[in-house]
Amino acid sequence: MVQYFATCARGLEPLLAEELRQLGAKGVAAGRGGVHFQGDRLLLYRANLWLRTAIRVLEPIVTATVDSYDALYAAVRQVDWRPYLDVEQTLAVDAHVRDSPLTHSQYAARRVKDAICDQFRDRTGRRPSVDAEYPMLGLNLHVHGRQMVLSRDSSWQSLHKRGYRPIQTKAPLNEALAAGLLLHLGWRGDEPLVDLMCGSGTLCIEGAWLALERAPGLTRKWFGFQGWRDYEAGTWALVREEARLRM
């Protein structure tokens, strides 16, 4: 079993926890802004495809106490990154810092990237490249106070981006929040759904997919885990086919 953390909007943690239990996750525990859970690779793929209220599904790699950018660099540098990345592959780091001696998210992300690339350069004389849009290894850095967690981001692009809306309209309701509102109300498609303040149709679309038992991630073309060195294409194809057959 691998430990994961699914992030969500504040207040949606109980709903996300219940979604994970229904998927068969173990050790489900709601936290602040997300839910901890355990599972195998099959569950990880299903979570990305099926979770309606989640934003990202993360796999923690490094946890440490840091009080400077140098300490952050050292904590990341001590990890052997060869199981996660090859010098021919690409990486990217998405960083968030809050109430910390590390005050600049972009510089924190740069120090993480430097620690990984310097390790490869010292070993091979070469370093991986950066691809911010579709990295083979997308990393999520979260620093709160002096505590840092660096995780593999199995989603990379936020899961609220279902894939059916290539152009975002002005101030749309977040899809994950819309799904959370419907789940909170207990609506499951067995009675009419009326949105009297319909703008871009998000509530109605999420309601239709909920009623049809359509996996919210089916329309997406790419998830972060598809770039991982240990990506299991056959398992992912099985998960997608299961979802199609349920509609």
Regions in the chain scoring below 50 on pLDDT: none
Position 224 scores a pLDDT of 98
Position 81 scores a pLDDT of 97
**CATH class of domain segment(s) 2-159+216-246:** alpha beta
Position 132 scores a pLDDT of 93
Position 119 scores a pLDDT of 97
pTM: 0.94
Domain ranges of the chain: 2-159+216-246
Torsion of CA 230, 231, 235, 237, to 10 degrees: -170
Position 59 scores a pLDDT of 98
Position 166 scores a pLDDT of 75
